[in-house]
Chains A and B, each alone.
Chain A
């Protein structure tokens, strides 16, 4: 069966510091991978989307970036965090080419920028 991991689970960082969040998927090959941010009481906001190694689509211009160095690894980064980057970050995967792309989520990372 497929599993998705995210770490760290929680993170407190000062403004201006760098960020690296990691997501890995097990039990599937060539998944589509997604990074979302969820603000309290609001819907999920898609940040980045990847259909393969090195292929990244950005949905929201901001100071975050994403990379996919391996087939089942997805990394969210920032060189300098802003207060507005605080939130709950979720990684998800879906199978490529499905009738409708059901997405399966990881446990999330709670980021607090102070």
Chain B
């Protein structure tokens, strides 16, 4: 069964304290892995799409990496405005649907 697990459920960091969020997946043939950011009461905002193991993408303080079993979202020297829930989803070759994780709630304290 295709599934996505995100960890931790919540992460509290001090401003400037770098860390990583994990997205583990099981899928029969990966077509793409997606990272989104979601602020409270708003729709998810697209961050990255990764297609194959070894691929990396960066945007400001965020860097996403992909292996055959998991993806990491690394956040470097975070700021309070990086506080949000980060969602991961995968798409299999055999299915148009995205399979979603439950998200990691990131809180950055000033």
Seen from chain A, the residues whose Cβ lies within 8 Å of a Cβ on chain B are 6, 32, 41-44, 46, 49, 59, 88, 90, 92, 99-108, 110
A102 touching B49, Cβ below 8 Å: yes
**Residue B78, interface by CB 8 Å:** no
Min CB distance, B37 to chain A, in Å?
11
Q: A42-B102, A43-B102, A59-B97 are in contact. Are A100 and B43 (CB under 8 A)?
A: no
Contact size range, B: 20 to 34
A86 vs B51: C-alpha distance when bound (angstroms):
35
A43-B102, A46-B98 in contact; A100/B32 too (CB < 8 A)? yes
- Which residue on B lies nearest to A107, using beta carbons? B43
Q: How many A-B contacts if CB must be within 8 Å?
A: 58
CA–CA, A103 and B98, complex, Å: 9
CB-CB under 8 A from B43, the residues of chain A are 6, 90, 92, 105-108
Report if A99-B101 is in contact (Cβ < 8 Å); known contacts: A49-B96, A106-B43. Answer: no
Given contacts A43-B102, A100-B31, whether A110 and B91 have CB atoms under 8 Å apart is: no
Q: Which residues of A contact B4 (CB under 8 A)?
A: 43
Question: B51, B98, B102 — which one has the most chain A CB atoms within 10 A of its CB?
Answer: B98
Known contacts: A99-B51, A100-B51, A100-B91. The answer to whether A46 contacts B97 by CB under 8 A is yes
Decide: A43 and B97 in contact? CB cutoff 8 A. Answer: no
Contact residue among A41, A88, A104, A106 (Cβ-Cβ distance under 8 Å from B46): A104
- Can you report 5 residue pairs joining A to B where beta carbons are below 8 Å apart? A42-B102, A43-B102, A44-B87, A99-B51, A103-B98
Residues on the A chain within 8 Å of B102, using CB: 41-43
Assembled-state Cα–Cα distance A90/B44 (Å): 9
Q: Are B49 and A100 in contact (CB under 8 A)?
A: yes
Q: How far is the CA of A73 from the CA of B36 in the complex (A)?
A: 24
Q: Which residues of A have CB within 8 Å of B36?
A: 105
Query: Top 10 nearest A-B pairs by Cβ distance?
Result: A100-B32, A105-B43, A43-B100, A44-B100, A108-B43, A105-B44, A43-B102, A100-B31, A107-B43, A106-B43
